[in-house]
Amino acid sequence: MDTKKIIKYVEKYREETSKWLTFISLFISIIGWIDNRVGTNGINIPIVDLFLKNSKIFFIGFIFFGFVWLFMKIYKIEKRLRIAFIEKLKKDLHINWDFKGDWKIEDGELSVTESEEGGISKTGSLWENYEFEFETKILNKFSGWIVRAQDLNNYLMFQINNEYIRPHLRLSQPRFKNIEEDTFEISEIRVGWKLFGNFPHYKNIKNRWFKIKTIVRGSRVDIFVDGENVYHADNLLTIPFGKVGFRESGEEHAHFRNIEVHIID
C-alpha cells in the first residue's frame, strides 16, 4: 500500500470532517444569537421559533445525517485505498503495460489481437489477493485475461467465449547444456501450456459488452460475469503472486474497458 496515498486520503477525510463540524457549530451559534436578539426585542420569527421548539428533533436529525455522511466518506476512502491499479486508456499503453502483439486504443477502448504472449501490467509483481475487474466484448473467438503473472511466460490465463470458460497455465522451463566439466548454461527456454478444461458459464454474452470480475485469493479463483459467479476452483493457483493482463492469440480479438485491480484482505 502506498503510504503517500493513505496520508492523502486521511488528510482529505479530516478536512471534510472539520468543514462539517464547523458548519454545525456556526449554524447553532447563529440560531442562538438570533434567539437572544429577538427575545430581547420581543420579535418572533416563525422559523426560529420552530427550531427552538423542536430543537431535540433537529439535533437528532443533524446527528443522524452526520453519521450517514461519515459512513459514506469512510466507505469512499476505504474503496479508494483498495484500488491498486486503474487503466483509463488515455495515455500511451507502454506506460502501464508490457505487451507483445497488436495492442492499441480505439475510441477509448483497449483492442487486443495477434498477441500470442499477451501483455501484463508493469506494476503488481507482489500482488497476492485481489479483484481484477473490467468490461469486455468479444469480436472474434475469445476474450482472454491473465492473473498472477510473473512475466510473459509464467501466468494463469482465462478465456471466455459464448459457451465456456477455459483456464490455462502458461509456464516456462529452461533447458541446460554442458559447456565444461560441471559447468552448465541455459541453452533455451521452452514455454508450454496446460488446459484445465472447458467449463460452461450459461450466460448470454454474444455481441455485447459484459463485466468480468476475477477474484484470486490464495490458491482459489472465482469468476463473475455480470455479477453472477460462473466459475470456482480451489487449489488452481500455483503462482503465489503476480500481475494482471490480457492475451488474444492469432485471430482472436476482444476489446476491454474500465480496467481496475482492487486489493483484498
Q: Which three cell numbers stand for residue 28?
A: 447553532
Which pTM does this prediction carry? Answer: 0.71
Looking at residue 235, the DSSP 8-state letter turns out to be S
More confident residue, 10 or 238: 238
CA distances from 193 to 43, 84, 196, 260 (A): 86, 29, 10, 26
CATH architecture of 88-263: Sandwich (2.60)
Confidence at 130, pLDDT banded by 50, 70, 90: very high
160 vs 154: CA distance, rounded Å: 20
The pLDDT assigned to 88 comes to 94
pLDDT single digits (tens) 23-77 = 666 666 666 665 565 555 554 556 556 665 665 565 666 666 666 666 565 555 5
More confident residue, 108 or 178: 108
The pLDDT assigned to 15 comes to 67
The DSSP string of 15-44 is HHHHHHHHHHHHHHHHHHHHHHHHHHHT--
